[in-house]
Amino acid sequence: MILWATLGRRLVTAVPILCVVSVLLFTALRVLPVDPAAMSMPPNATKEEIEAARREMGLDRPLPEQYGLWLGRAMRGDFGRSIHHRRDAGALVRETLPGTIELALAAMAVSSVLGLGGGLLLFGLRERTMEPVAETVTTLMMSVPEFLWALLFIFVFGVALQAMPFTGRLDPGMKLPGLTGFLVLDAVLTGRLDILWSALVHLVLPAVALGLAFAPPIMRVLRASLIDTYHEDYIRQARLRGVSEGRILIRHALKNAVLPTLTLMGVQFGFLFGGSLLVEVIYSYPGMGNLMVDAVRNADLPIIQVVGLTYCVVVLVINSVVDGLYLVLNPRLRPR
Amino acid sequence: MTLLVARRLTVSTVLGGMRAPVIRGLDLSLAPGKMLGLVGESGAGKSMIGRAIAQVMPAGFAVTGGLLEFDGRDLVGMPAAARRSLLGRDIAFIPQEPLTALNPVLTVGAQMEEHFSHLGVNTRAERLARAIAALEAVHLRDAADLLARYPHQLSGGMCQRVLIAMAFASRPRLVIADEPTTALDVTIQARIVSLMAELQRRDGTAVLFITHDLRLAGRICDEVAVLYGGSVIEQGPARQVLETPLHPYTRCLQLANPALSGARRGLYALPDQMPGLRALAGMQGCHFAPRCPLAGDECRVRMPDLAGETRRVACWQPDLTAGIGAGPAPPAVGVRTSGVKLVEVRGLGKIFRTGSVFRRRQTRAVIDVDFDIAAGEFVAVVGESGSGKSTLGRLLMGLERPSSGTIRLDGRIVSVPGEAARRHRIRTAQMVFQDPQSALNPRRRVADIITAALEAAGADRATRAMRASALLAEMGLAPEIGGRTPSQLSGGQRQRVNIARAVCLVPKLLVADEIVSGLDVSIQAQLLALLQRLRRDHAFAMLFISHDLSVVRHLCDRVLVMYQGAIVEQGPVEQVFARPLHAYTRSLLAAA
Amino acid sequence: MIAPLRSARVVAGLLIVLLMLVCALGAPWLASHDPDEQDLVAMLLPAVWQQGGDWAHLLGTDGLGRDVASRLLYGARVAMLVAGTASLGAAVVGASLAYVAGYLGGWVDWVIGRAIDVWMSFPPVILSLILMTGLGTGARNVILAIVLVDWTRFCRVLRAEVIVTAHRDYVTAARLSGFSHVRTVLREIVPATVPLLVTVLTLEMGIAVVVEAILSFVGLGVKSSQIAWGQMIADGRDAVYQAPLALLAPVGAIFLAVAGFNLLGDGLRRSLDVRMVEGRE
């Protein structure tokens, strides 16, 4: 009941945020030095032809009017046409989004497992001789951003060992009748185990590279909040009742310590979703990130706008889900 | 026949490479079904004894000598698994802070169920039935409904009842209660104490009652042991120790406590404070000697042993103790007050609005309050937490904006926004804060802190330095304290600095919010003496917010009793305390 | 101020950062070659310790025959310039807003809080790409973009700390002593937040190095005439089989620079006893 109320409230606040974001996006992109109308025309187009194109794209009207026009169309699902691809911008996003989400989910799984496991390991090492070593290793791991992991993995597993594929989502020549766009899901639904295997193998390097970059902060926060939790009175009181150490960790400490960790993971997953862009570029992974980078290089305004908004929507959804989860796990937020 | 025995028990930690004992050569024994009070000020090591029994000690602390036995079994050397099976079953603990001693993310039921499964109750239905029975035994209503609730949904008193229910659930032979009532309101304290006594009688449980309150221990325990610097300095039947103490320290503690009834008398203010671990580690002779009014040459050289049969005392000359007398009596009520109205409060109200746009909540913290304070008059505000007494002080200081009513300070209305009213208010009234830890900027030197008002007024360095040294002297602080930061001071010193800042420009009114609560009795007596001296020298008025009725009786002329935001009774302290009119005042007095 | 120097992390981090600064400032004297000089005879040379290596090119050459070691040194200039100025800029913007929001509270805090919400709903990489599209390439625009994206990091972390500090009684006491709001903030609140500010600033420098590398890698960073590590990676990717060092050397340089700032920041956090929620990118 309260869960739904919170999610509902979260969505209510998300709508104004989205509106503000779209206005900002629109304004930021209109101060662009390049002329998208000129970019969309063949190089030998005349001045008059470019002017006509500008009028047709609505670029000659005042900014608020342009925004109103764009918003009106966007409400009907029309996000304009890509200048570069000469296709419907919305359709391009629909084609690429599932791939990006698949990658991000896999990376989230990797970073959650590594982060929580590593956090427990670091906690277990507290006040031992190995602790400084382990902490220095985490600091150094934090110094490797996702695109460096991606490049290193290509170099080690792709080039040097030649053990893993590192381009695209599938082996060349494989084709799947697109159902949802989520390859793993589609392969399972159609019973194509060969495609499932290929998709999973192609997912490993990018997902691990992305997940690895976001695991160390989770490790640290879990360790720190476990240490904080162990200073709490209720842990001592449980000990004084004769509760075993294992039970104290799992039932009493982790349940509390996971809360600050979850808050951080919410923020991290937003960042991780953005980080997928670089990984996609490096692994030539056909997702929204590559679409975005192409669009940016070609000043493809309709694409930049819709992709930017889509990233926002996904982040807001992630945040809402994390908020809901936090509420479920933290009874203190429930009314007295 | 004894249940718990400690012989020459020593618990130490390591300080700067040196071993420093926290508990030294402690002898204790507790018979089944008896209640032993362990009394001492902070730093006496009283909590460490409970921790040593469970072997749940803070990092760096360990038993380094002596013997600690429960029912003939060595508690220190026993394997952890064996100790765990004793804990919660034969030995149970009741904590100091009930609100933080229950896990906030587990329901009361889940925690009680866990406890019963530790006790070996195998079926869930039986565990639940036992849990309900245990909650009913501590007089909690709607026990079944309570099981589904989370700790934050209960009051402090209810949490403590749940913890007591868990402690007595296994009918343990020993219960260790570490300041179980300190965090609770007075009226609830009394009920918790009588509940514990009831359960103890029912089960014939032995109780180790750890407290800083000599009077409380004397009232409820069979026997009392007084601790100082990690060892027992006096032990005996509770009433005897309380009424005719043999050790000078016990006698001084007794005299430092203001009385709630009988003739008003002066308080005995012991100098300084209990030495720290490091100082104690290198000390020769009786540990109390440096503060003892009777210390002779022998006391400073040789440490006396705890000697005697039923009354045991560690002192070379216990027969002199009775001769220690209290200080001079405080000035008679009303002597210093004049007819001039300094504070006039009319129809004052404060409503707090909380919650989001979706769910608005209103709390009426202060409701239609009227009172006056004459120049030079000490007026107390008493009431439980949540009664609005702190809000009243903050309203007076302009830290909250009133929702209704007016405040007139020294002839001028200050309950209006604006810089002029603020200037007038802070010239007339100053505040002493409750928690000196939070009230003193840890990054600034004491001399800068206490002359901040001069700095704001644009005084030069020399003026400020002069005022600082005068203030320090007035507060009874050594001149070099001015160069230190707050973290280098003791609790009592910090509170003096806190007071010094407020009196820097000699205001006409001091608002003091619980400024002696949480301090040891001997420090409290020192501060009360200081406040009386300051009053004599500067003739300022004070609004003294406190929950401690005996302190109020000792210090103040008039009292306002607050209950749920309203003043339910006001009048001269002696009159109100002797003949309370309102039912709530009567219950406060009965509980104290 | 001496205490942090006792931490091994702080010392190690400082040494690495100093090394980076020396490389950046001394590049014209330290470099053996003109970093843009193309030697088509000596393309894709391996490093000196590999077979066929040449002492003239310590780390070999790239696909256009440019000396990798020299380019690395020049690349440090952009990296350090961006790291220093962008994080300072973000700190100034973010910290000022944090003090205002945390101290005043009320609707000011609400507005700034909602602004942070809007910013946080954008993954930073996406936001900086969009900003760079609008601003155009160039080191100055990279710095501006980082400031515009990362002020939120300072604002979020500091605002929480300011709120905690502002609720301390000593801040109230300062007001009761007659201090003005501005003076109260400067005397009582700012000093309490300096350790946190310094720590976040140091960590932000590492982040700025990464962001600059990312933008240059995608081709939206500094002007193509300038040398940046991100660009070197993009160039080196094409010849990864023949001359892996052209790729690995700038990867290593970025890692070292970021590790230096992170070690320093981590060490400062411990020795200054700063509590903060961590997060990156």
**Chains interfacing with B (3 or more CB pairs < 8 Å):** A, C
In the predicted model, is pLDDT for residue C272 greater than 60? yes
CA distance B191 to C192: 43
**Chains interfacing with C (3 or more CB pairs < 8 Å):** A, B
**Which among B265, B383, B249, B396 has a CA at the least distance from the CA of B332?**
B265
CATH class held by domain C8-21+72-224+258-280? mainly alpha
Which DSSP helix (H) or strand (E) runs through B372? strand B361-374
Q: Give how far C141 is from chain A: nearest CA, Å.
A: 13
Strands in B341-354's sheet, in edge-to-edge order, are: B361-374, B341-354, B404-409, B412-413
Do C177 and B435 count as a contact with CB atoms less than 8 A apart?
no
CA dist B559 → B372, B389, B517, B564, B573 (Å): 11, 12, 17, 16, 5
Chain B residues whose beta carbon lies within 8 Å of the beta carbon of residue C183: 456
Do C266 and A29 count as a contact with CB atoms less than 8 A apart?
no
Question: Does residue A30 lie within any of the structural domains?
Answer: no
The backbone torsions φ and ψ at residue B563, rounded to the nearest 5 degrees and listed phi first, read -145, 120
Chain C residues whose beta carbon lies within 8 Å of the beta carbon of residue B497: none
Which domain CATH number covers A128?
1.10.3720.10
The token pair at A185 is: 């899901």
Residue-wise over C139-162: b if at least 16 C-beta within 10 A, else e?
bebbbbbbbbbbbbbbbbbbbbbb
- Residue A38 has what pLDDT? 64
Q: Give how far A10 is from chain B: nearest CA, Å.
A: 12
Question: Does residue A17 lie within any of the structural domains?
Answer: no
The backbone torsions φ and ψ at residue B580, rounded to the nearest 5 degrees and listed phi first, read -65, 135
CA distance A228 to A126: 12
**Angle at which helices C244-271 and C190-218 pack, to 10 degrees?**
170
Q: What is the DSSP string of B546-573?
A: ES-HHHHHHH-SEEEEEETTEEEEEEEH
Per-residue pLDDT of chain A (336 residues; tens, 9 = 90+): 667 777 777 778 888 888 888 888 888 777 665 666 666 666 677 778 777 777 776 777 777 888 888 888 888 877 877 777 778 888 888 888 999 999 999 999 999 999 999 999 999 998 888 888 888 899 899 889 988 999 888 888 887 787 777 778 877 777 766 777 787 788 888 878 888 888 888 898 999 999 999 999 999 999 999 999 999 999 999 999 999 999 999 999 999 999 989 988 888 888 898 899 999 999 988 889 999 998 888 878 888 888 989 999 998 888 888 888 888 888 887 765
pLDDT tens readout for residues A253-295 = 999 999 989 988 888 888 898 899 999 999 988 889 999 998 8
CATH class held by domain B341-438+508-591? alpha beta
**Which among A33, A26, A27, A44 has a CA at the least distance from the CA of A80?**
A26
Chain B residues whose beta carbon lies within 8 Å of the beta carbon of residue A233: 95, 97, 100-101
Do A336 and B152 count as a contact with CB atoms less than 8 A apart?
yes
The token pair at A16 is: 């104004």
The superfamily (CATH) of domain B30-55+75-90+173-323 is P-loop containing nucleotide triphosphate hydrolases (3.40.50.300)
Q: What is the dihedral of CA B478, B483, B487, B488, to 10 degrees?
A: -50
Which DSSP helix (H) or strand (E) runs through B368? strand B361-374
CA distance B26 to A41: 94
Interface probe with B: pick from C1, C110, C165, C169, most Cβ of B within 10 Å: C169
What count of other Cβ atoms lies within 10 Å of the Cβ of residue B81? 9
CA dist B235 → B4, B579, C60 (Å): 16, 37, 85
CA dist C140 → A28, B341, C28, C222 (Å): 17, 67, 21, 8
Do A255 and B106 count as a contact with CB atoms less than 8 A apart?
yes
What count of other Cβ atoms lies within 10 Å of the Cβ of residue C42? 15
C-alpha R_g of chain B: 26
Which DSSP helix (H) or strand (E) runs through B27? strand B18-30
> Do B212 and B521 touch, CB atoms closer than 8 A?
yes
> Do B349 and B384 touch, CB atoms closer than 8 A?
no
pTM: 0.88
Strands in B509-513's sheet, in edge-to-edge order, are: B429-432, B509-513, B541-546, B378-382, B558-563, B566-572
Place of tokens 């009725």: B549
Chain A residues whose beta carbon lies within 8 Å of the beta carbon of residue B152: 331-332, 336
Strands B18-30 and B4-15: antiparallel
Do A252 and B84 count as a contact with CB atoms less than 8 A apart?
no
Which DSSP helix (H) or strand (E) runs through B406? strand B404-409
- Residue B355 has what pLDDT? 63
Which DSSP helix (H) or strand (E) runs through B500? helix B491-503
- Positions of chain B with pLDDT under 50: none
The set of residues, in sequence order, having a beta carbon less than 8 Å from that of B126 and lying 6+ positions away, is: B116
The C-alpha angle with vertex B410 and arms to B406 and B412, in degrees rounded to 5, equals 50
CA distance B70 to A163: 65
Place of tokens 């009761």: C176
Per DSSP, the three-state class of A206 is: helix
Per DSSP, the three-state class of B484 is: coil
For chain A, give me the number of helices (H) and strands (E)? 14, 0
CA distance B28 to B242: 19
Interface probe with C: pick from A139, A143, A210, most Cβ of C within 10 Å: A143
Q: Give how far B150 is from chain A: nearest CA, Å.
A: 7
Per DSSP, the three-state class of B9 is: strand
Per DSSP, the three-state class of A232 is: coil
> Do C142 and A330 touch, CB atoms closer than 8 A?
no
Do C218 and A293 count as a contact with CB atoms less than 8 A apart?
yes
Q: Where are the domains of chain B?
A: 30-55+75-90+173-323, 95-169, 341-438+508-591
What is the band of C278 on the pLDDT scale with cuts at 50, 70, 90? Answer: very low
The backbone torsions φ and ψ at residue B285, rounded to the nearest 5 degrees and listed phi first, read 75, -165
> Do C17 and C261 touch, CB atoms closer than 8 A?
yes
The C-alpha angle with vertex A216 and arms to A211 and A218, in degrees rounded to 5, equals 90
Do A127 and B59 count as a contact with CB atoms less than 8 A apart?
yes
pLDDT tens readout for residues A111-149 = 999 999 999 999 999 888 888 888 889 989 988 998 899
Host domain of residue A125: 96-301
Q: What is the DSSP string of A185-219?
A: HHHHHHT-HHHHHHHHHHHHHHHHHHHHHHHHHHH
- Residue A247 has what pLDDT? 92
The token pair at A27 is: 């304004």
B432: amino acid identity, one letter: V
Q: What is the DSSP string of B449-479?
A: HHTHHHHHTT--HHHHHHHHHHHHHHTT--G
- Residue A335 has what pLDDT? 63
What is the band of C279 on the pLDDT scale with cuts at 50, 70, 90? Answer: very low
Q: Return the half-sphere exposure (C-beta side, CA atoms, 13 A cut-off) of residue A154.
A: 27
Could you say which of C176, C188, C192 has the minimum Cβ distance to residue B397?
C176
Q: What is the DSSP string of B53-92?
A: HHT---TT-EEEEEEEEETTEETTTS-HHHHHHHBTTTEE
Chain B residues whose beta carbon lies within 8 Å of the beta carbon of residue A238: 103
Chain B residues whose beta carbon lies within 8 Å of the beta carbon of residue C170: 438-441, 449
The backbone torsions φ and ψ at residue B548, rounded to the nearest 5 degrees and listed phi first, read -100, 105
Distance of CA B531 to the CA centre of its chain: 19
CA distance B410 to B372: 11
Q: Give how far C180 is from chain B: nearest CA, Å.
A: 8
Q: Give how far A256 is from chain B: nearest CA, Å.
A: 7
pLDDT tens readout for residues B102-141 = 999 999 999 999 999 999 998 999 999 999 999 999 999 8
Q: Minimal Cα distance from C251: which residue of A?
A: A148
- Residue A35 has what pLDDT? 64
CA distance B208 to B232: 14
Question: Does residue A143 lie within any of the structural domains?
Answer: yes
CA distance B528 to A313: 62
Could you say which of B440, B455, B504 has the minimum Cβ distance to residue C170?
B440
Question: Does residue A85 lie within any of the structural domains?
Answer: no
Q: Minimal Cα distance from B95: which residue of A?
A: A237
> Do B570 and B371 touch, CB atoms closer than 8 A?
yes
Residues 210 to 239 of C: which have CB under 8 A from any A CB?
210, 213-214, 217-220, 233, 237
